[in-house]
Amino acid sequence: MTITFIGHGYVGLVTACVFADFGNKVWVVGRSPDKIKKLQSGDPLIYEPGLKEMLQKNLTADRLHFTLSYEKAIAESDIVFIAVGTPPKENGEADLSMVLSVAEKIGRHLANRLTVVSCKSTVPVGTNAKIKAVIDKIKPQKAQVEVASCPEFLREGTALNDTINPDRVVIGSNSKQAISKLLELHQPLPGERVITDLSSAELIKYTANAMLANKISFANLIAFYCEKVGADVEAVLDAVGLDKRIGRIFMNPGVGYGGSCFPKDVKALIKIGEQLGVDPLFLETVEKINLQAKQSFVNKIVKHSPGKHLAVWGLSFKANTDDIREAPSLFIINELLNQGFTITAFDPVAQKNTRAILGDKINYAESPYQALSKADALVIITEWNEFKHADLIKVKKLLKQPVIFDGRNIYNPQILKKLGFRYYSVGRNSTV
């Protein structure tokens, strides 16, 4: 089968590589000559474990093709996936300008046969109907187009595995032909098939992300309680998570959620609720707690830091990615800078992206231990494995004061206490 992806971000590029690896001919259309040239040379542009190797393998096999031109890619494709961004507007509503612009370009280049246009971008209910209307208005008379919603559920940092081993494949369409084509394409993948209408498929992605954001905010709310009464949030959530109706997965306290999906999708679902006359109070609270989690961590540092120079470990919004979009680190660092702190930071892969935003407001170290030099305390914001397995005796020697603020609860408080640290984590008794 020949397929095209419009967009080469996390969703478009990862999914394109996976389907090329299954033997399909895959086109990826972009709009930046520089980025397309880098992709053609085997540079994935983003950090994702295993992605560079799969990209280069399928380039060598001549199954994966990157282009600026819609003409050839669209004309010969059986399925065209829209995988462009839907960033939030100032009011929180999803900006669909890129999606609808791409739909118009697709329509212009359709061949005189059946083409399935499937949206992978996260979009509000009714968007796929708009895509169909745009294409129908501009397409060649003999071209036949059917639309479908095929949302993605990959996680940055584990995107390849999530794409190859999905929990479910959701296909929403009013067209039996579109459903048949998409089922055929996804045949190599495991996971439950969920065949539904367009509106349900569009809402499934928002619902999934809102629920995951809720689990994080709920864990942080309980952490607030635990800190007030001297309880251990990890013990509380471990016990609660043993209930099969609840589970422990993703119910992790910390410095809040970030990234390209949860913040914008919660905002978008709030806006959708307002437009539909549904009170989004629950989601507004999820968002409020997320901000409180970041601010609470800042307040803890300001109150208990023995000095004004801090080492920061972790800048990406989560481990195993270089993505800093809506990263808690940006909020925390800016708040600390406003309080007069100086910062030396280290992240295994996200320093370049952070420097593009923060510039020289902070210093950047070449290793986690170099960041500790002359620092009064260590602040941990991202849960990279190399931080979890750091040499804590060495950390203590390098710090001016044995103080750690752990925003991800990656260490055992009792071990830190025995080593002589003052240790402040989230929702657990501080070891002072």
Residue type, 173: S
Residue type, 244: K
| pLDDT band per the 50, 70, 90 thresholds, residue 217 | very high
What radius of gyration, in Å, describes the C-alpha atoms of the chain?
Answer: 23
What torsion do the CA atoms of 66, 67, 70, 75 make, to the nearest 10 degrees?
Answer: -60
pTM of the model as a whole: 0.92
| pLDDT band per the 50, 70, 90 thresholds, residue 173 | very high
Do 387 and 410 form a contact (C-beta atoms < 8 A)?
yes
Q: Which domains does the chain have, with CATH numbers?
A: 2-196 (3.40.50.720), 212-424 (3.40.50.720)
406: closest CA among 423, 419, 429?
423
Between CA 81 and CA 12 the distance in angstroms is 8
Q: Is the pLDDT of residue 110 over 90?
A: yes
CB atoms near residue 65 (< 10 Å) = 20
pLDDT score at 326: 95
381: closest CA among 414, 345, 351, 352?
345
Q: What is the pLDDT of residues 366-392, one digit of tens each?
A: 999 999 999 999 999 999 999 999 999
Q: Is the pLDDT of residue 431 over 90?
A: no
| pLDDT band per the 50, 70, 90 thresholds, residue 430 | confident
Residues 6+ apart with CB under 8 A from 295: 335
E strand or H helix at 328: helix 328-338
By annotation, the residues acting in catalysis are 261
| pLDDT band per the 50, 70, 90 thresholds, residue 42 | very high
DSSP for 201-264, written as a single string: HHHHHHHHHHHHHHHHHHHHHHHHHHHHHT--HHHHHHHHHTSTTT-STT---SS---SSSHHH
Q: Could you identify the residue written with the tokens 């794409």?
A: 163
